[in-house]
Structure 1
Amino acid sequence: MASSKKLASCISSIASSFYFFLIFFQVPLFRVQCRNGICTTPIEVTASQSIANEVFPEYIIRTLLYPGAFANAILKGSTIPSYNKLLNLYHFTNLNNASVETDIQCLEILAGSYLSVAGALLGPLRAGKMSLFGTLITLWGLVKEVSSVQNPDGLSTRKVGYIYPTMLIAVLCAFLSIRRDLRKIIQCCRASRPIANSKH
């Protein structure tokens, strides 16, 4: 039987890699209103805000966007997008002129998206809690966003603010990527087995 340390390390590595895949290949996790229209991934939220507020240079944004754009083109069987035209593809060219009313109103979604992207980037190198914190903060913001678009009659007032089932997968992967906590859980499960067997 593998040691708890090796088992935790293996599970953590797989979970971190899968979380990286979900974030950087832009698997839709939610739907919120952004300056460019509708954002469905943490990278889109991060890119939208970064360009509008000039947080990062455009080449960094294009580098973050390209894996998802490439994967989406392969899945749809369309032409591979040009690296230099990615901002046009995502409608990120005139964000500074967009109305602030179309911007993300929930700071939790914005902060959580930044942490999720950073956690996904650092996860395969060094597993930490940034991915989990980012995902949970984003989820909390989405819950607030979804509840805020409901009128007193329970009817949605706009077609934004939605959580896809893949968000739960992201939360699970983020949790399983924390090696230290996962190791403690494995040790507790193994310690409980002899106690359970001794009662029979």
Structure 2
Amino acid sequence: MANNTSTSKGKWRNLSKYACRIFFILIVLQVPLFRVQCRSGVCKTPIEVTSSQLIASEVFPLPVVKGLLYPGAIVNGLITNMTVPSWNNLLSIYNLTDIKEASAVADLQRLEVLAGSYFCVAGSLIGLIKPGRMSMFGILLVIWGLVKEGILGKPVNTDPSKAAFVYPTMLIALLSAFLSVKYDLKKAARSLPAQPVAMPLKSSSKSKLK
């Protein structure tokens, strides 16, 4: 019985590791998950949304942001025209050369997608070291932002080519984000408060003796 329990635990641990790796590949290799209007034009991945904000705000050095973009740019370049993009032309490929002068209205109207993209990128990197809930929280924020725009129509978009759209790969990202979370049932049970045991009142026991 103990062997079966340990085997099942090992499977669940491996499942969370594999889910973290799948989510990492989806995010870092920039597999299109959605389509939404952003500061650089139209963004299809959390890294594109995050990079446009990081470059405009100058929070991180430019080589760090380009390092996030480069793996996906290589994959996209090999798929489209079998060429590896140049490191120096990376910003022009993603329309990020004049991002500081671009209007930030599109991003401010989609704060859920912006914040969720930040969490997705950070969660994909941290998840390789220690699985957590950051990826799940980020993907849920992105989905809520897209649902709010698609159903509630906020913000209003009259251009169909820039309207919010969700790709089927979003389902894979959602499942991998949920499965990357480790659930320790024993730890959760130990953290529950102990239920007090009801004791008979002394007065009632005395009355019974009389």
Matches within 5 A, 1:126-141: 126-141=130-145
Distance across 2 between alignment mates of 1:28 and 1:148: 23
Q: How does 1:171-186 map to 2 (within 5 A)?
A: 171-180=174-183
| 2:92 matched residue in structure 1 | 88
TM-score in terms of structure 1 length: 0.83
Secondary structure at 2:89 match in 1: helix
- Letter paired with 2:48: E
Q: Deviating runs (4+, > 6 A) in structure 1?
A: none
How far is the alpha carbon of 1:53 from its aligned partner? 1.7
1:113-138 superposed Cα distances (whole Å, 9 cap, x missing partner): 00000000011111100000001011
* Residues 148 and 154 in structure 2, CA contact (< 8 A), matched pair in contact too: no
Contact preservation (8 Å) 1:149, 1:157: no
2:53 corresponds, among 43, 49, 52, to 49
CA contact (8 A) 1:127 1:177 kept: yes
Matched residue SS, 1:180: coil
Task: Report what 1:145 is aligned to.
Answer: 149
Residue of structure 1 in register with 2:65 after alignment: 61
Tell me which of 88, 110, 117 is aligned to 1:113. Answer: 117
Assess, with a 3 A threshold, how the Cα gap between structure 1 residues 102 and 112 changes in structure 2: closer, same or farther.
closer
Match of 1:166 in 2: 169
CA distance in 2, matches of 1:34, 1:46: 10
1:157 is matched with which residue? Answer: 158
Identity of aligned residues (%): 51
Shift of residue 76, structure 1, vs aligned partner: 1.9
Q: CA deviation at 1:143?
A: 0.7
The answer to whether the aligner puts 1:98 opposite 2:99 as a matched pair is: no
Normalising by structure 2, what TM-score?
Answer: 0.79
CA distance in 2, matches of 1:127, 1:150: 33
Displacement after TM superposition at 1:99 (Å) = 2.5
Distance 1:150 1:104 in 2: 12
Corresponding position of 1:78: 82
Question: Which residue type is aligned with residue 170 of structure 2?
Answer: M
Distance 1:10 1:165 in 2: 25
Aligned residues: 180
**CA shift at 1:150, angstroms?**
7.8
Point out where structure 1 has 5 or more consecutive residues left out of the alignment. Answer: 185-200
Say which SS state the counterpart of residue 128 (structure 1) adopts. Answer: coil
Residue 11 (str. 1) matches residue 15 (str. 2): yes
1:189 aligns with: none
